[in-house]
A and B are shown apart, each in its own frame.
Chain A
Amino acid sequence: MAAPIAIHLEFGGGAELLFNGVKEHHVTLPSQSEPWDVKQLLVWIQRNLLKERPELFVQGDSVRPGILVLINDADWELMGELDYQLQDQDNIVFISTLHGG
């Protein structure tokens, strides 16, 4: 049994609008038998945090194309994307690029 883990989430670039305008969220993921990965985190976020328009945040199993994900300040493409296994105190940032420049 894995212990519950504390995760620090940040939403930016307009993505925060889907979460009541709140940019920073400290969440605790409940304990479960397998380690948490990002794929499951997205499902969790959709169920517990996402206030509206899920199609603007997730697409299929992953984030909507155009939303960048940083895990501990590094591009998630370097960390295994959806398969990255979350650890206690990890910092995950979601930045939307889908707006005017």
Chain B
Amino acid sequence: MPVLCSSCAEKRAVLKRPKTGHSLCKECFFWAFEEEVHQTIVAAKLFKPGETVGIAASGGKDSTVLAHVMKVLNERYSYGLELMLLSVDEGITGYRDDSLETVKRNQQQYELPLKIVSYEELYGWTMDAIVKQVGLKNNCTFCGVFRRQALDRGAIMLKVDKICTGHNADDVAETVLMNVLRGDIARLRRCTAISTASEGEGVVPRCKPLKYAYEKEIVLYAYFKKLDYFSTECIYSPNAYRGYARTFLKDLESVRPSSIMDIIHSGENLSVREGVKMPVQGTCNRCGYISSQALCKSCVLLEGLNRGLPKLGIGKHHRLHDKILSQQPLTEKEERKLKSVDF
């Protein structure tokens, strides 16, 4: 017995929306999905007419859908934005080189300019080389930190006013869970923000237009619209901590689909108790990038890589930052702790 669309009552429904439980046909689904992103953008005042916006594109499902929807909405509602694609090449053989081919196809399909920045040119290290030194447990820390900065640098090279990323509702909910599990109060407070502040040298403001879009709907949107995207798990990710939060979230979603939105809602409405020590935003003494410590995480990680101390930057070593900055040698005990790596 085919179910009729609850919106137009004319056509056959093709999906049941996890957010609302409504059954929609293809056209009503496309409309609802696009409209909701539009409402997200308008309500949060994410863009101003005349701005140049860099769409962080990896060739994956989220960024492909983001690029497509941004283009559609920019035209439909005359946002007046100049859109560009910005891609980061982390140097992961068999993963990133393939997905970048997809981005290049996206560039043709959406007719948008594309800039690719690589870890190799920015830091002198590919992820493949990093994993050889660091192992398979903490490599995601390096990648995430470097990529954030790489996006900013690419954005500055492209001269964009803002960056938008394809983070979806599932991603944000996972991040809330991860920060609770790790006791990271500072991040817990910031992580549900739809856009970041624009202070700091070399930092470009960024936002998440897909923040309230369920991953399931992003995948089905791409499937029904036949959008071209690359879909393989990063070869280094199986040990990432996020995987546990993701599995947990997926199980929660299957029991109660609204839990994803509800977790985001919880995160957005958390307030931190008075007297809780919070990091203060400053700048890195070495490179000037935004940082809450004397040295930004990127500089600390790079220092560790270049000195053969892969654990520098993993865990808390703030006391050592001053030593590193003033180029004092580390004690033998300190060096030993920082060298040990479990593969």
Contact segment of A1-9, A28-36, A37-45, A68-76: A68-76
Contact status A12-B166, CB under 8 Å: no
B interface vs A, CB < 8 Å?
2-3, 12-16, 23, 58, 60-63, 166-168, 171, 215-216, 218-220, 223, 231-234, 237, 246-247, 250-251, 253-254
B231 pairs with A96, CB closer than 8 A: yes
* Contact A95 to B223, CB < 8 A, known contacts A17-B232, A65-B251: yes
- 14 pairs, A vs B, C-beta closer than 8 Å: A13-B219, A64-B250, A65-B253, A74-B2, A74-B12, A77-B16, A93-B223, A97-B219, A99-B61, A99-B233, A100-B60, A100-B234, A101-B63, A101-B171
Question: A13–B335 Cα gap in the complex (Å)?
Answer: 44
Partner of A101, one of B3, B168, B216: B168
From known contacts A65-B251, A75-B220, A78-B23, infer whether A101 and B58 are also in contact, taking CB-CB under 8 Å: yes
Which residues of chain A are near B61, meaning CB under 8 Å? Answer: 13, 97, 99, 101
A74 close to B15 (CB less than 8 A): yes
A contact set with B: CB distance below 8 Å: 12-14, 17, 64-66, 68, 70, 73-75, 77-78, 93, 95-101
B233 lies within 8 A of A100 (CB) = yes
Q: Choose from A12, A78, A100, A101 the contact partner of B16 (Cβ within 8 Å).
A: A78
Q: Please, which residue of chain A has its CB at the minimum distance from the CB of B223?
A: A95
A65 CA to B248 CA, complexed, in Å: 10
Residue on A nearest B65 in the bound complex, by CB: A101
Q: What number of residue pairs across chains A and B have CB atoms under 8 A from each other? A: 75
Chain B residues in 8 Å Cβ range of A98: 233, 246, 250
Contact of A12 among B58, B167, B223, B251 (CB under 8 A): B223
Inter-chain contact A101/B62, CB cutoff 8 Å: yes
- Other A-B contacts than A73-B14, A97-B219, A98-B233, 10 sampled, CB-CB below 8 A, are A14-B231, A65-B251, A70-B223, A75-B13, A77-B15, A78-B15, A95-B219, A95-B223, A101-B60, A101-B167
Taking A78-B23, A98-B246 as contacts, is the C-beta distance between A68 and B233 under 8 angstroms? no
Chain A contacts for B15, CB-based, 8 A? 74-75, 77-78
Of B218, B234, B250, the residue contacting A66 (CB under 8 A) is B250
Q: Which residues of A contact B13 (CB under 8 A)?
A: 74-75, 78
B220/A12 in contact, CB under 8 A: no
Closest 9 CB pairs of A and B: A101-B62, A65-B250, A75-B15, A77-B16, A101-B60, A99-B233, A66-B250, A14-B231, A13-B231
| CB-defined contacts of A101 to chain B, threshold 8 Å | 58, 60-63, 166-168, 171, 215, 218
How far in angstroms is the closest Cβ of chain A from B13? 6
